[in-house]
A and B are shown apart, each in its own frame.
Chain A
Amino acid sequence: MNSSNHIGSPESPKKGRREFINYLLGGSFAAWLISIVYPIYHFLEPPKVEEVKVSNLKVGKVGDMEKESGKIVKFGSKPVLVVRTAAGDYKAFSATCTHLDCIVQYRKDYGQIYCACHNGRYDLNGRNISGPPPAPLAKYNIAIKGDEVIVFKDES
């Protein structure tokens, strides 16, 4: 009884020592926990993979695509929609719908760009005109060299 009183009393030097040990153990435990959680946390973060930088892409001859048609090309790792309008002009947009990431397509019957996932529509300037898409499609540029159609992206 006496000895336990002695340990519990505030003046007791043993109490300070005990607190110190508690802090030491608690702190070590926290540090140990961090040393486990930190590597796992970072392990789960996918490393950045070097992407092949593409600045332009030949998509074919001017006459290859029919008027009022579209096709999807691989621009590096990004899908790009190339559209040939009724007038015969070429246009190119990011094929990734701004709504929820689906791949859009040109619909001849609508004369518009269409996303089948949620019925989103864009006009031939890439503007979102109906359905859920919140923003226009990103534009890519078209250059025609000779009879070669080239898609390129402004780096600015």
Chain B
Amino acid sequence: MIELTSLKKRISAWIDERYEISNLISYMKKKSVPKFRATFWYYLGGITLLLFIVQVVSGILLLMYYKGTENLAFESVQFINTKVYFGWLIRSIHSWSANLMILGAFLHMFSVFFLRSYRKPRELTWYTGFILLLLGFGFGFSGYLLPWNELAYFATKVGTDIVKQVPFVGHYFMVLLRGGEEVTGATLSRFYGFHVAVLPAIFTVFLTAHLMFIQRQGIHEPEDWKNKSESERSYMPFFPNFLLRDLLLWLIVINILAILAVFFPWELGQKANAFAPAPKGIRPEWYFMFMFQTLKYIPGKVWFIDGELLGIGFFGIAGFLWFMLPFWDKRTKIGIRNKLLNYIGIIVIMFIIVLTILGYVLE
């Protein structure tokens, strides 16, 4: 026993001599998390990160059997589902975890919004986080097509056709995405490439920045703590208190994921056919549903503007304003409460929820 401790000491001394990790350890010991009624929301970023890790692992596993061509994609996913040991489980986990990850990111984003954690000096954390969400959408959109089934085929046709409506550059980008004028095997190849190479590479850069900003600046303290004395604030050490709670929550999330994946396995549907009418109930992933449903309500022409264009313009501008939040929220910047923002946030959430529900109910 004594030998073991001395061995451990010798090893850490060896590493410390070369990499000076004692600084890092003392820094991490000081790390703390503010303890108040909304502390729970601080776990959501970590949960999203966990689900991303699940995505990477399950995605690499699926790569062992998936074949990204028009003639083999559907069949290879069928093979994974029916022949590969636990193939159905891995695929189901990949699909479920993808959806939970986006949900986690949404909740994380709105909690940051309402807690005003994006304000100075954390603007870049908000910007990188928003970009990560968009990249997550990209993962979802490109991954949706990969099984090459009917629903995904038409959802991709619609989704990429919307790109075409953007003035001037729209058609060019649609062709770039589709690998041609139509959604074909060329589109599948491209989406496969985006999904497993391009997006992961970009995502890694932004995720690293996002996490490093948080490490460097520490976790945001509630806004009203500025007027509180030292004794009125309470903290929880990150090691081990917060981390252990984090791990417990991760365990719970993994269990939920396993239950969903086992009892509600992801369906595969029919193989895509370019010469069959679109089936009823064509829909994108749920996180695009509110936009998809909004487009249904906009008529073909509003005055002289194309309805689609109006929809894209609306969501483009709204998304941009949302992205630029730390920039235009001047009031919170100087520490004044900004109630208007709470109303905006609630309206945005209500809009998303109502249109999503309408999208599913009015099928």
Q: Which A residues form the contact surface with B (CB < 8 A)? A: 44-46, 49, 72-74, 77, 79, 95, 97, 99-105, 115-119, 128, 131-134
Contacts and interface: CB of A to CB of B under 8 A. Distances in A.
A104 B279 CA distance: 9
A103 B180 contact: no
A101 B175 CA distance: 14
Contact of A117 (B160, B180, B278, B300): B278
Given A72-B275, A103-B275, 4 more contacts: A100-B161, A102-B157, A104-B277, A134-B308
Interface string B267-280: 00000001111111
Nearest to B181: A46
19 contacts: A49-B180, A72-B275, A74-B275, A95-B277, A97-B278, A101-B183, A102-B157, A102-B158, A102-B278, A103-B277, A104-B278, A105-B278, A115-B278, A116-B277, A116-B279, A117-B158, A132-B298, A134-B301, A134-B306
Contact of B275 (A45, A79, A119): A79
Nearest to B362: A119
Contacts of B158: 100-102, 117
Contacts of A104: 277-278
A132 B296 contact: yes
Nearest to B175: A46
Given A100-B157, A100-B162, A118 B275 contact: no
Closest 3 CB pairs of A and B: A105-B277, A134-B300, A101-B161
Interface string B122-147: 00000000000000000000000000
Contacts of B306: 134
Nearest to A128: B300
A73 B301 CA distance: 30
B282 A116 contact: yes
Contacts of B175: 45-46
Interface residues of B, number: 32
Nearest to B164: A101
Interface string B150-165: 0000100110111000
A79 B157 CA distance: 14
Contacts of B161: 100-101
Nearest to A75: B275
A117 to B, nearest CB: 5
A44 B162 contact: no
A48 B291 CA distance: 33
Contacts of A134: 300-301, 306-308
Interface centre among A46, A77, A79, A97 (most CB of B within 10 A): A46
